[in-house]
Amino acid sequence: MSASSHPHFSPELLQMARWLAGDFCNREQAWENPPFFAQIRVAYRPLPTPALSGIGFYVEQAYGGHLEDPYRQAVVELRQTRSGMVIRNYRPLEPERWRGCAREQPDRLRHLQVADITYLPGCDVHVQQQGSRFVGATEPGQKCCVVRKGQTTYLQTRIELSENQLSSHDQGMDPTTHEQVWGALAGAFRFQKITDWQSELPMISGI
């Protein structure tokens, strides 16, 4: 499959995909602020097959010393829409089936199909290019529902992506008072890319 067969992948969407494809760590942030930032690893592994119409990634997020036990597994899809770029979020129906696929066994992602994931409505992240970075935020509407410790909240995410850095800020808000219930009070996580997987993007590598 060549890039020309994906006319809906704009140069900026492909740029975002290249920058996102990789394994990220916020080690510097943790060492600069002990003990107030956990050391986190987040991996965006390109999906090897076009299971989704956009550019798909399998995502694992884990504490630095516990990669084998991710606290978050997701599939995201970069899409170009008429109103701009969007990151769509999906949850795997059987997370344990995909555990380890971000780093140790990416080959198993060949088996991932649309039926294996469920779309999370209200959780699209709308992205804009601003100079040499991409900036995104959860779509308006306060509909990205997250139940945490029995409490219903809505998720507000902000991300910034540049060539080797990803920052993300998640906040869980009370749907009535709109006050923050959970999340990073200390601010965004600042990740540096430590492994680059852009060559695995099927629409770029031509594989």
Stretch 164-193 residues interacting with a second copy (CB under 8 A): 182-186, 189
At 180, the amino acid letter reads: Q
Nearest approach, Cβ of residue 183 and a second copy (Å): 7
Say how many residues touch a second copy, by CB under 8 A: 24
- Rounded to whole angstroms, the Cα distance separating 200 from 198 reads 5
Q: Which residues contact 100 (CB under 8 A, 6 or more apart)?
A: 68
Return the residue of 16, 21, 25, 40 that touches a second copy, per CB under 8 A. Answer: 40
Ranges of beta strands (E only) in the chain are 22-25, 40-46, 55-63, 72-81, 84-92, 117-119, 125-130, 133-138, 145-148, 151-161, 165-173, 180-183, 189-196
| Contact pattern for a second copy over residues 86 through 115, marking x by CB under 8 A | ------------------------------
Return the residue of 5, 8, 28, 31 that touches a second copy, per CB under 8 A. Answer: 31
Catalog residues that contact a second copy under the rule CB under 8 A.
Answer: 30-40, 61, 63-65, 71-72, 149, 182-186, 189
